[in-house]
Structure 1
Amino acid sequence: MSMMPGYNGEQNCTYSHRYPFPDAIYFDKKSKPFSTEIHGFSDASELAYAAVVYLRITDTSNRIHIALVMSKSKVAPIKRLTIPRLELCGAQLLARLIHHIRQVLDIPLSLTHAWTDSTIVLNWLDGNPRRYKTYVGNRISTIVDLIPPDKWRHVRSADNPADCVSRGLYPSELLDHSLWWNGPTWLKEPPTNWPERLPLPPNKPEIDEKEVSLLVLTQDLTPIIPMDRFSNYDSLKRVTAWTIRFNRNSQTKNIAERIKTHLTTTELQAAENYWIKVIQATHFAADPGFTPKKTNSLQLQFTNVSATIY
């Protein structure tokens, strides 16, 4: 994986001892923790997906303290995934992270909140996992087993601290990044000021994004025999028929299968059909209503002849 442009490892390592890593939360003698909530955020980009968890602690003086507890990120798989699937992987990472913290700190599920900026993931979590393909369905089942769908809410990308990890920051930028260390500003406000729940559209099956290559074949009907060199139509038709036979015989490896008799009615008709196609393609190609019929293999072989007959 390539480094970020302008990244200097030695220079940026000097910032590590300056990061305000939270080792404890201190209260004054008059205040004690009254309520502790878990708020987790997830996000993803084409390069990585991440999850970050904060504690929102309300003390007996009704003051709110925010503390970064844990974060985790993973590099996106080598096999290309859609952004919604990567967002789902981020949500799964967050669900496992929150579950671990809940067990360690003994925080009830009722005080747990999970946030993502992907409405598609919220829609998936609100639906039946069996409706989706195996990759999506399995991850939905894992997530909702750890965190019920009603605990998931939408957050703007600008207020999502997990975005700092999924898109990357320089160490110097991270040092004073308030969103990363303290979470969104509204976390210190009453729940009535938190982002409102978005109405989700009806659940729809996942649609695969596939790259489609379109091959267009065009048939060049430029005549290899100059029509103006012939004053007699029968002569033009016979020369054309002989040319078609020559082209066919030259492509036949078995000498015994080559045609050596006089021109047949079928060959003369094929020559006439060829010139009808040439005239139609020349004079009616610009007509939107004109759709040429498919030519048979004998005519297609003839159009590949590169010789010029005089």
Structure 2
Amino acid sequence: MRSLLKNIWSKFGLRWYDQIEPESEARFLKWKELLPTMAETSINRKYFSGIVSQIGLHVFADAPKDTMCAVAYFRSQQNDEIQAQLFFFIGKCRVPPMRHMSIPRLELQAAVMAVRLKSQIVKEHEIKIYSCTFWSDSTTVIQLINSTQRKQQVFVANRVAEILDTTDASQWKHVSGANNPADIGTRQINIEELWQSEWFTGPAWLRESEENWPKEIPLVLASDDDVHPSVFVNEATESELTVEWNRFSSFNRLVNSVAYILRFIWRVRPTSLLLSVEERENAKRTIFNLVQPRDFP
């Protein structure tokens, strides 16, 4: 509903007494028809069966273009249990501000939502939480949280500071979008589709042992949300680099990002986090080699 209101105000510029478009009206009436079903929906609040120990809290965050979402689950496993018990605790969705924000910044704001949600749970609930893990499908967010020693824009620095005020960088892990239950909360689906999803049950892989959880990704240090290396490495060869050129606001940012990727490909152990002149020159040559066959065949 909030997404619909934002769309009406931002796209059509309507005032409160103006008549809305037929398409928006149809969406509203469809949402209204689902209200009785939503009123009958109930969630079991008995989190665990039997005596449990070492309860973990897992908070997922996601933010595509239209919605920001954070959802939290309790996880506990006894020694004699093959699979852990997993229970939905709370989920929150918000629409982005009216002003335009890039997706990396929205993903960072969703991470802030996850941290605030965790703080609310710890404050309001009597359950003793043994550990807390945060999950995001944004590699940019993971990079920024691990790049505090580098200069960041004010918007980014303030939010990263809030994140790290109550969490540690080691608590943040990457998960693919397909395995991220917070992605469900960003979709425009009805209550029946929500019950059929993993929103209330949690991801199946989280019931498994930690060895079966999503693997960690190699980090490329970033200075802000615009320095995001849209370079994906399938094999350890330069020739297979794929670059999304439009994701970079300047050639200098592109050179820096490619240079860090080349460090990973060549498995170089740098003596400093800062790039050397030689590394930047190698990155420029790599960029030219990628561009020439495409634009000058």
Shorter-normalised TM-score: what interval?
0.5 to 0.7
The question of 1:16 aligning with 2:38 is answered yes
Note the alpha carbon deviations across 1:257-298, whole angstroms, 9 max, x for none.
Answer: xxxxxxxxxxxxxxxxxxxxxxxxxxxxxxxxxxxxxxxxxx
Change beyond 3 A, Cα 1:67–1:42: same
Change beyond 3 A, Cα 1:158–1:96: same
- State the shift of 1:85 in Å: 0.2
The question of 1:127 aligning with 2:132 is answered no
CA distance in 2, matches of 1:47, 1:129: 31
Indicate which of 54, 59, 62 corresponds to 2:73: 54
Change beyond 3 A, Cα 1:25–1:210: closer
Determine what percentage of the aligned residue pairs are the same residue.
26
Match of 1:191 in 2: 210
Change beyond 3 A, Cα 1:201–1:60: closer
Change beyond 3 A, Cα 1:26–1:111: closer
CA distance in 2, matches of 1:99, 1:129: 25
- State the shift of 1:9 in Å: 2.8
| Secondary structure in 2 matching 1:84 | helix
Amino acid at match of 2:161: S
Match of 2:112 in 1: 92
CA distance in 2, matches of 1:82, 1:205: 12
Match of 1:142 in 2: 162
Indicate which of 134, 138, 143 corresponds to 1:114: 134
Runs of 4+ in 1 over 6 A off after TM superposition: 208-211
Indicate which of 75, 94, 98 corresponds to 1:78: 98
Change beyond 3 A, Cα 1:185–1:5: farther
Q: Are 1:129 and 1:138, in contact at CA under 8 Å, matched by a contact in 2?
A: no
Amino acid at match of 1:131: K
| Secondary structure in 2 matching 1:111 | strand
Q: In the comparison of the two structures, how many residue pairs are matched? A: 207
The question of 1:33 aligning with 2:55 is answered no
Q: Are 2:48 and 2:85, in contact at CA under 8 Å, matched by a contact in 1?
A: no
CA distance in 1, matches of 2:158, 2:212: 34
- State the shift of 1:14 in Å: 2.6
The question of 1:170 aligning with 2:190 is answered yes
Tell me the TM-score normalized by structure 1: 0.61
CA distance in 2, matches of 1:171, 1:9: 10
Q: Are 2:71 and 2:114, in contact at CA under 8 Å, matched by a contact in 1?
A: yes
Q: Are 1:48 and 1:74, in contact at CA under 8 Å, matched by a contact in 2?
A: yes
Match of 1:180 in 2: 199
Tell me the TM-score normalized by structure 2: 0.63
What is the 5 A alignment of 1:296-307?
Answer: none
Q: Are 2:185 and 2:199, in contact at CA under 8 Å, matched by a contact in 1?
A: no
Q: Are 2:144 and 2:221, in contact at CA under 8 Å, matched by a contact in 1?
A: no
CA distance in 1, matches of 2:148, 2:26: 43
- State the shift of 1:146 in Å: 1.4
Structure 1 gaps of 5+ residues are 212-310
Change beyond 3 A, Cα 1:195–1:133: same
Match of 1:42 in 2: 61
| Secondary structure in 2 matching 1:102 | helix
Note the alpha carbon deviations across 1:225-267, whole angstroms, 9 max, x for none.
Answer: xxxxxxxxxxxxxxxxxxxxxxxxxxxxxxxxxxxxxxxxxxx
Structure 2 gaps of 5+ residues are 8-23, 228-246, 250-297
Q: Are 2:70 and 2:182, in contact at CA under 8 Å, matched by a contact in 1?
A: yes
CA distance in 2, matches of 1:34, 1:91: 27
Match of 1:302 in 2: none
- State the shift of 1:148 in Å: 0.7
